[in-house]
A = this chain, B = another copy of it.
Amino acid sequence: MAAHAAPVHVAVSTVIFALRPSPVDGRMTVWLPLVRRIRDPFVGMWALPGGPLEPDEDLAESAARTLAETTLLTPQYLEQLYAFGNTDRSPGERVVSIVYWALVRSDEADIAVESENVRWFEADSVPELAFDHSLIVEYALWRLRNKLEYSHIASAFLGDTFTLSELREVHEAVLQKPLDPANFRRQIEGSGQVVPTEQLRTGGRHRPARLYRYAATVETNGPLGRTEGAS
């Protein structure tokens, strides 16, 4: 209706998850990169990577762009999390943030740069964040753990082929509890989410493990179809 400057700004932020070994016991845990704010409000505090939505880019494009800018990575999985738009969530201005969550491969995440203003944190011990970003991270973690149990996103943390042990390790890291190897195998094989290849992975001081790869992607978001990810 009003033709003058709209007072509502649109931003896109992304919660980026990767698995990395914990510094304490070496077991794999969930990590995410945060950026330090260099402007008010909340200058100096850690926050989710993101920025204003450009007029000529789609929402998911914007999420992938800021993801690449902060980590130099491309996501294996990218899905919209939620739109946060309460009037009081940013002091002094009205910002609606469309938040995405992404999974990146663990081997690539090792290459990801850190700097004075970009640092990876263990998901269980993120500091108090700017805006409502602490709540957002908590919600994204909840979604990740939830979706892992009825979807096949775990493979997004791994390479093209992987052993069932590696896949199980992903589940254990995300869910933070040990899983029975025998039952896990049956569950996964029975679900048809992965298919065995001809190759084996040798090198451990034990019997070689068969390598698997993703089956054709299964629709999991209904009419919205497949969410973006590696082609």
Residues of A participating in the B interface, judged by any CB pair closer than 8 Å: 1, 4-10, 52-53, 55-59, 80, 82-83, 85-87, 94, 96, 98, 135, 138-139, 142-143, 146, 222-224
Chain A contact residues, majority secondary structure: mixed
The chain B residue sitting closest to A97, CB to CB, is B83
Known A10-B96, A146-B222; contact A59-B86, beta-carbon cutoff 8 A: yes
Q: How many copies does the complex hold?
A: 2
Tell me which of B5, B82, B98, B223 contacts A139 (CB under 8 A).
B223
Whether A83 lies near B55 (C-beta < 8 A) is: no
Residue of B nearest to A99 (CB): B83
Measured between C-beta atoms, what is the minimum distance from A167 to chain B in Å?
Answer: 24
Whether A59 contacts B223 in the complex (CB less than 8 A), given A5-B6, A6-B5, A80-B82, comes out as no
Task: State which of B10, B82, B143, B224 has its C-beta within 8 Å of the C-beta of A10.
Answer: B10
Closest Cβ–Cβ distance, residue A3 to chain B (whole Å)? 8
28 contacts between A and B (CB under 8 A): A1-B52, A4-B5, A5-B5, A5-B6, A6-B6, A6-B8, A8-B10, A10-B85, A53-B96, A55-B94, A56-B87, A57-B87, A58-B85, A58-B87, A59-B83, A59-B85, A59-B96, A80-B83, A82-B224, A83-B98, A85-B98, A96-B96, A96-B98, A135-B224, A138-B222, A138-B223, A143-B222, A146-B222
